[in-house]
Structure 1
Amino acid sequence: MTTVIIFIALLSALLVIPQVRAVAGGLLASSAVLGIIIGFASQRTLGNFIAGLLIAFTQPVRLGDDVVVEQTQGIVEEIGLIYTFVRTRSGDRLVIPNEKLASDTIRNSTIRSREKVAEITIQVPLGRDVGAVVDRLRRLREGADVFVSDLSDKATVVVRAEAEDEPAAERLERELRLGAYDVLRAEGVYA
C-alpha cells in the first residue's frame, strides 16, 4: 500500500513539469488508441468465448447430438470455449464458431425434451470390446440411442431413451443403469 501511495505522489509531482505532462498526454492518447484497436481485433474471439460459456450452461447442443447447421447435418463431436466441432455424414469435420451456434437457428433432432429423455453414461476400459458392449446396450430398450461419445482414457458410452414424462424418465434411467450393470458384468468389464 505504501508503494502505491509513493508511486501516485511521484507521478503527481512529475506531472507538474510541462515536458513530462506533454509526454504523459501522448502516452495516454496512444494507449487509448491501442486499446480501441485491440478491442476491435478481439471482438469476434471474445464473442465466441462468451457464446461458448452460454452453450456450456444452456446446452442447446451436447456431445453426440445429431444437428443441422446451415443445411449441413452432422454429429457434435467436441464443444470448446470458442469452437464446436461437428462430423458430417461424409466424414468432414465442421469447425463452427460458438457465436454462430448461440445466435443462429440449429435443428437438434436428438433432444426433443430434456425432461422426457432418460440418459446414462458408462465408462468402459479401452481394453474391452467396446463394440460388443454397445451392441448389448442397444438391446436394453427398443429405440434407445447408444453411442460412444469419447475415447480418451476410457470409452464413454451414452445410452439415451425417450420416456413419457419426467418421472418415467427417472424410472427408466434407474432401469437402464441396472441393465447396463448386467451387460458390463456379462462382458467382463465388472467382475
Structure 2
Amino acid sequence: MIPAWGLAALTVAAAAVAALLLHRLGSILLRRATPSTYAAAEGTIVRQARPPARLAFVLVAEYVVTPLLPLTPEGVEIVRHALAIGIIVAVAWAFVALTEVFQVLVKVRFDTGVPDNLRARRVQTKVQLLRRMVIMMVVIVAFGLVLMTFESVRRVGISLFASAGVVGLIIGIAAQPTLANLVAGLQVALTEPIRLDDVVIVEGEWGRVEEIGMTYVVIRIWDMRRLVVPLRHFIDQPFQNWTRSSVELLGTVFLHVDYRTPIDRVREELHRILQGSDLWDGKVWNLQVTDATERTVQIRALMSARDAGNGWELRVLVRERLLDFLQREMPECLPRVRAEVEEGRA
C-alpha cells in the first residue's frame, strides 16, 4: 500500500508532468502557426516566453490538485495562498515577456537597417515607449494583487481609501519630477518629436537617439560619448531634429577665395567630385557666391545625401577635394592680402 506522502508526491508530479505536456503541445501548435517571416526571431521568442509560460502552467496545475493532497484545511489554504502568489508573479512575468516578444516581432517586421527607415523608426519608437509603460503598469498591478492576497493588507487598504486624498497629494508633490517625465514619455510616443536613430542637436551636441526610456533619452554623440537627457527637455526646450520628416539632408561647404577666382570652373570641379562619389544621392547640387568682403569672396557648395552620416562624409570629402583643386590648379585664387605702396617724393 502506498503511503499518504507517496500519493501526495505522485499527485504533485503527475500534475507537473501534465502541465508541461500541455505547455509543450501549445508551443508546437504556436510554432506551426508562426509565419515564416518571423522565423529569424524564433530563438528570441522562445527564450523570452517559454520560462514564464512553463512556470504558470505548472503552478496552475498544482493549485488545482492541492485539495487532493493529504493536508489539513489550514495547510491547504496556506499552500494555495503561496501558489496564488506564484501564479500572479508568473502571469506578470509572462505579460512582460509577451511585450518583449512583441517588440522583437516589430523589429523584424520594421527593419531600421534600410535606407528609407522613417516609418520603421516611428513604429519602433512607439512600441518601445508603450512597452515600458505596460511593464510599469503590470508590475504595479501584480504587486497590488500579491498584497491583496493577505487579509491584513486588505483591511489596511480599506482604511487607506478613506485618506486617499491626503496621501495622493503628498505622493503627487514628492513624485512630481518623475510623473512629469512619465507624462512627457507619453507625449513623445503620441506626438513623435523624436524617434529612435533620429539625428538631433541637443545642448550643442550632435548625435543620434540611441535609447528612449521612461524618463530619459540617451543620445549617442559622434565621438561615442553618451548624453543622457530628461524626456521633459524634448517637450519644454527647443532642439534640432535633422531627420524629423525625412532622412535625406542637404549639406553645405563654405570656402573663401580671391576675387579673381573663375566660379564656373570651380562649379564644374564640384560636379565632377560629386559624380565620382557614392555618398552623393544624385538629386541636388549647386555652387553659388553667397558673400563678398573687402578681401575675399565666399562661395557655398550645396549637395544632397541619403542620410546624415553620408551627408557629413560628403561635406568633408567636398571640402578636401575643392581645397586640393584650388591649391593645385589655381593657387592664385587662394585668399591674399593686397597692398598698394606709393614711392615717396624727394
Asked if TM exceeds 0.5, the reply is no
So what's the TM-score if we normalise by structure 2? 0.26
So what's the TM-score if we normalise by structure 1? 0.44
Question: Whose relative contact order is higher, 1 or 2, with alpha carbons under 8 Å and at least 6 apart?
Answer: 1
Q: Which is greater in Rg?
A: 2
Comparing both structures, which one devotes a greater share of its residues to strand? 1
Comparing both structures, which one devotes a greater share of its residues to helix? 2
